[in-house]
Amino acid sequence: MMLPTATATAVFLTAAPSSFSTRRRRSRAIFASLSPSFSSSEEPLLVRAARGEDGLPRPPAWMMRQAGRYMAEYQALAKRHPSFRERSENTDLIVEITLQPWRAFAPDGVILFSDILTPLPAIGVPFDISDSKGPVIQSPVRSKEQVRELVPIDLDMLQFVGESLKILRNEIDGKAALLGFVGAPWTIATYIVEGGMTNTYTNIKSMCHTAPDVLKGLLSHLAQAISDYIIYQVNSGAQCIQIFDSWGGQLPPHVWEQWSKPYIKQWT
Is residue 15 scored above 90 in pLDDT?
no
> Is residue 174 domain-resident?
yes
What are the DSSP calls for 31-76, one per residue? EE---TT---TTS-HHHHHHHT-SS-SS-----TT-SSTTSHHHHH
DSSP-derived pairing of the beta strands 109-111 and 177-183: parallel
pLDDT higher than threshold 80 for residue 14: no
CA gap 57, 51 in Å, rounded: 15
Please report the pLDDT score of residue 3 as a whole number: 43
Query: Is residue 131 pLDDT above 60, yes or no?
Result: yes
Residue 208 lies in a domain: yes
Number of domains in the chain: 1
* Residue at 29 is within a domain: no
Strand 10-14 and strand 240-244: the pairing is parallel
Does residue 216 have a pLDDT over 90? yes
- Provide, rounded to the nearest whole percent, the portion of the chain with pLDDT above 70: 85
* Distance separating alpha carbons of residues 215 and 188, to the nearest angstrom: 12
pLDDT exceeds 60 at position 22: no
Q: How many helices (H) and strands (E) does the chain have?
A: 11, 7
Rounded CA gap, 238 and 9, in Å? 9
125 domain residue, yes or no: yes
Q: Quick one: pLDDT band at residue 137, thresholds 50, 70, 90? A: very high
Which domain covers residue 247, as residue numbers? 61-265
- Read off the CATH number of the domain in which 205 is found: 3.20.20.210
In a domain, 240, yes or no: yes
pLDDT at 12: 55
For residue 11, the model assigns a pLDDT of 57
Residues 198, 196: Cα–Cα separation, whole Å = 7
Band the pLDDT of 37: cuts 50, 70, 90.
very low
Whether 140 has a pLDDT exceeding 80, the answer reads yes
What average pLDDT does the segment 102-127 reach?
Answer: 97
Higher pLDDT pick, 33 / 108: 108
Q: Is 241 a domain residue?
A: yes
- Report how far residue 197's alpha carbon sits from residue 136's, in angstroms, rounded to the nearest whole number: 8
Is the separation of the CB atoms in 206 and 263 below 8 Å? Answer: no
**Residue with the larger pLDDT of the pair 21 and 11:** 11
Is 244 among the domain residues? yes
Query: Which CA distances in Å does 225 have to 16, 34, 151, 171, 253?
Result: 22, 23, 9, 29, 25
Segment among 6-15, 113-122, 154-163, 225-234 with least mean pLDDT: 6-15
With 50 as the cut, is the pLDDT of residue 9 above it? no
Tell me the C-alpha distance between 178 and 46, whole Å: 9
Question: What pTM was estimated for this model as a whole?
Answer: 0.87
- Pair 238, 176: CB distance under 8 Å: no
pLDDT, tens digit (0-9, with 9 covering 90-100), for 222-267: 999 999 999 999 999 999 999 999 999 999 999 999 999 999 999 9
Query: Given a cut of 80, is residue 201 above it in pLDDT?
Result: yes
pLDDT at 146: 98
Instruction: Provide mean pLDDT across the span 5-20.
Output: 44
Q: What's the mean per-residue pLDDT of the chain?
A: 88
Q: Is residue 50 part of a domain?
A: no
Strands 128-130, 109-111: parallel, antiparallel or unpaired by DSSP?
Answer: unpaired
Q: What is the pLDDT of residue 66?
A: 85
The C-alpha angle with vertex 163 and arms to 161 and 166, in degrees rounded to 5, equals 110
Measured distance CA(265)–CA(188) in Å, rounded = 16
- Per-residue pLDDT, 132: 84
